[in-house]
Amino acid sequence: MRTYAQYCPIVRAVEVLGDRWTLLIVRDMLVGASRFNELSRGLPGLSRALLSRRLRQLASAGLVQRTGDGYLLTPAGQALRPLVFGLADWGARYAFGDPRADELDPEVLMWWMHGRIDTGTLDKRANIEVRINDRRRTFWLVVEPGDASICYTDPGLEVDAVLASDIATLFRMWEGEVGLLDAVRAGAIELTGTRWVVRGLPEWLKLSPVAEHVRAARV
C-alpha cells in the first residue's frame, strides 16, 4: 500500500479508512450487519472479491475481527461511530440534495427497510405489499414477532396492507426528508389495508440510521 509519507495522525487514519467502500462497510457494520452476505446485499455496487479484500484490510488494521459466522467490529472499529455519523450530519447539511437516478435502487431500499423493522410489539404476522409504481416493481415485507423478511416474489400469503409510491418518494421517506404519515396525508404515499397494520407500520419502521441527521438539517 502506498502511503502519504507524512507523520500525522490524520494521515494514518486516511491510510486505513480512505480506500473506496471502506467507510461504507464500517457504516453497515455499525448498524448491525455482521455476515458477509448481509454486507454484500447492502452494498450491491461492491464486488464480493473487493469486499473480501476490504474486510482483510480492516482486520489487519485491527478494526474488524472474524467470528465463527461473520465479522464484528473491534473496540477500535466501534470507536469510529462518532466519525461515521459526524459525516452523516455534515453530509445532510452541506452535500445532500435531490436523489440521483443511479442512487434509487429499489432492491437496496427494501433490504435496508426490512432490517429496520421493530418487531417487538407484534403478536402476529403481517404481510405488507410494497408497490413501486414508477418502476413497476412489487415486494412483500413480511413481519412477525421477532423477525422481518423481504420477499422478491409473492410469498402466497394474504396481503394485510399495501404501501405504494414512486421510488424517489420512498427513499425520501426512508432518509427522513418526509414523514411517512405526512406523505400519506399529502397523497404522495398510499397506505391502505387492515387497520392494525396501517396504524402500526409507522411505528414499526424505524427509518434509516441517518434520518435524524437529515431531519435536523432541514430545520
C-alpha cell, 81: 461511530
d(CA 152, CA 149): 10
Q: Tell me, yes or no, whether 66 and 149 share the same domain.
A: no
Q: What is the pLDDT of residues 86-145, one digit of tens each?
A: 999 999 999 999 999 999 999 999 999 999 999 999 999 999 999 999 999 999 999 999
- The domain boundary residue, chosen from 40, 72, 96: 96
Establish if 217 belongs to a structural domain.
Answer: no
Q: Are residues 60 and 118 in the same domain?
A: no
Residue pLDDT, tens place only, 3-57 = 888 999 999 999 999 999 999 999 999 999 999 999 999 999 999 999 999 999 9
**Shared domain check, 160 and 135:** yes
89 shares its domain with 123: no
We report the CATH number of the domain holding residue 136 as 3.30.1050.10
Total Cβ atoms within 10 A of residue 107: 13
Average pLDDT value over all residues in the chain:
96
Share of the chain above pLDDT 90, in %: 95
Q: Note whether 197 and 126 are same-domain residues.
A: yes
pLDDT for the residue numbered 219: 81
Residue at a domain's end among 71, 96, 121: 96
Same domain, 19 and 91: yes
| Length of the chain counted residue by residue | 219
pTM, entire model? 0.92
CATH, residue 76 = 1.10.10.10
- DSSP assignments along 152-196, one per residue: SS--SPPP-EEEEE-HHHHHHHHHTSS-HHHHHHHTSSEEEE-HH
Query: Residue 79 belongs to what domain range?
Result: 9-96
In tens, the pLDDT along 157-214 reads 999 999 999 999 999 999 999 999 999 999 999 999 999 999 999 999 999 999 999 9
For residue range 49-76, what is the model confidence (pLDDT) as tens digits? Answer: 999 999 999 999 999 999 989 999 999 9
The domain boundary, picked from 65, 96, 127, lies at 96
Between CA 4 and CA 11 the distance in angstroms is: 7
High-pLDDT (> 70) share of the chain, %: 100
pLDDT per position as a tens digit, 174-188: 999 999 999 999 999
Domain count for the chain:
2
Residue 219 lies in a domain: no
What are the tens digits of pLDDT across the range 135-147?
A: 999 999 999 999 9
Same domain, 136 and 163: yes
Residue 1: band (very low, low, confident or very high) from pLDDT cuts 50, 70, 90: low
